[in-house]
Amino acid sequence: MFVWRRMVRLLLVLTAWLAAAGAVHAQMPPDQRRQMRQEMREQWRQTPQEDRQRMRDEPRERWQMPQEDRQRMRDEMRGHGASPHGGGRGGGRR
């Protein structure tokens, strides 16, 4: 029983930490974002050629989730929960 409670607490702490880290990243100044993108490009260039080619050749479907799953995940991340209309924000007017 205590293990379960400890795991729930750990999950909550990690979720809060990731949310805070995401908020900090979103508020990053443009020059820092530019520098981060440049570092990512350099890391991509250092990746072995066969790995880069394999990543390019794999079907895109493997890397993408269905549209309805993406919308549901966006709504959950924004704190809106599941949409009663089956997707989309709908503008709020009826």
The region of weakest confidence among 17-21, 22-26, 47-51, 60-64 is: 60-64
Model pLDDT, residue 59: 64
The domain ranges of the chain are 31-80
Contact (CB, 8 A) for 75 and 81 = yes
**Token match 């079907």: residue?**
59
pLDDT digits (tens, 9 = 90+) for 28-62: 888 988 998 999 899 888 888 888 787 777 766 56
Whole-prediction pTM value?
0.34
Residue 87 CB partners (closer than 8 Å, separation 6+): 67, 68, 71, 72
Instruction: Locate 40 and state its tokens.
Output: 């990512």
